[in-house]
Amino acid sequence: MRSPLVAAACQMATSCEIGRNADRILRAVEEASAAGAHLLVVPECALSGYLPAEDLDFDRLRGAQEELARQVARSGIWLALGTTRRQANRWWNTAVLLGPHGAVAARYDKTHGTGGDNEVFESGGALPVFQQGDWTYAIQICFDMRFPENWRILRRKGAEMVIHLSNASRSDAWKVPVLEGTVRARAAENGMFVVSANDARRPQMMVSAILDPDGKDLARAPENEECIIYAELDRSLVKEDFLRSRRTDLWNREENRRLLLG
The fold of 5-246 is Nitrilase/N-carbamoyl-D-aminoacid amidohydrolase (3.60.110)
How many whole angstroms separate alpha carbon 33 and alpha carbon 77? Answer: 6
Distance of CA 156 to the CA centre of its chain: 18
Q: Given strand 90-98, what is the order of strands in its sheet? A: 104-109, 90-98, 78-87, 39-41, 5-11, 227-233
How many whole angstroms separate alpha carbon 247 and alpha carbon 93? Answer: 35
More confident of the two residues 138 and 244: 138
Tens-digit pLDDT profile for residues 204-261: 999 999 999 999 999 999 999 999 999 999 999 999 998 899 998 998 888 898 888 8
- Alpha-helical segments (H) within 102-247: 115-120, 148-156, 175-190, 241-245
Does residue 82 sit in helix, strand or coil? strand
pTM of the model: 0.95
pLDDT value at position 173?
A: 86
Tens-digit pLDDT profile for residues 167-183: 999 888 899 899 999 99
How many whole angstroms separate alpha carbon 49 and alpha carbon 69? Answer: 18
